[in-house]
């Protein structure tokens, strides 16, 4: 019989308030609290907390506080990662973010979801689907990325977008729901 954690990692419905998952979230909240409370000059201390919290990090990264996540260990960030203020990652499933990714303020990356039918929701079931963000992606401010999404490399997601479907590589996409507006070309390579 699978544990609730094993069910969550398998993309099945699970209950998040069992002892194991609850304690893991509490541990992450403690580290996140310390991260967010540190003096702005304590950059190295903040990096150490993120390295301890996340599944893995690139060599160079910067996360502006405040930051929030559920578990931390499901998050992987590549090299040269930057996120602005108020990044929220509900990492109930794997959240893989590539190299050279820029994330604007107030972005929500949500691997967690709830059943559509109220009877299952009322029984406290939820589910989690991985999110993958490729290399060289720029995500504008106030973007929401829903469970199970892949954003291809080199793409740009416009501010205020709600990403409900996969976005291919090398495009500009925006809107609610987020849609591809155009391909990125060599004509975009100018100041």
Q: Which residues are annotated as catalytic?
A: 114
Q: Please enumerate in sequence order all residues whose Cβ is within 8 A of that of 68, keeping only pairs 6 or more positions apart, or say none.
A: 32, 87, 88, 89
Enumerate the H helices of the chain as residue ranges. 4-9, 19-37, 43-53, 118-122
The three-state secondary structure class of 74 is coil
Q: How many CA atoms lie within 13 A of 13 on its CB side?
A: 11
């Amino acid at each position: 019989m699978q544990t609730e954690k094993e069910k969550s990692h398998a993309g099945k419905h699970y209950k998040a308030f069992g002892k194991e998952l609850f304690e893991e979230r509490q541990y992450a909240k403690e580290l996140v609290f310390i991260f967010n409370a540190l003096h702005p000059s304590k950059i190295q201390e903040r990096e150490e907390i993120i390295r301890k919290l996340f599944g893995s990090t690139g060599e160079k990264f910067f996360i502006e506080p405040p930051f929030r996540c559920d578990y931390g260990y499901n998050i992987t960030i590549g090299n040269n990662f930057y996120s602005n203020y108020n990044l929220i990652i509900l990492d109930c499933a794997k959240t893989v973010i590539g190299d050279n990714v820029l994330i604007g303020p107030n972005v929500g990356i949500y691997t967690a979801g709830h059943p559509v039918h109220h009877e299952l929701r009322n029984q406290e079931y939820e589910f989690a689907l991985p999110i993958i963000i490729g290399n060289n992606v720029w995500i504008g401010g106030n973007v929401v990325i829903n469970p199970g999404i892949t954003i291809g490399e080199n793409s740009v997601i416009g501010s205020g977008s709600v990403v409900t479907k996969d976005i291919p590589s090398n495009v500009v996409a925006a809107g609610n729901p987020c849609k591809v507006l155009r391909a990125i070309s060599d004509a975009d390579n100018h100041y």
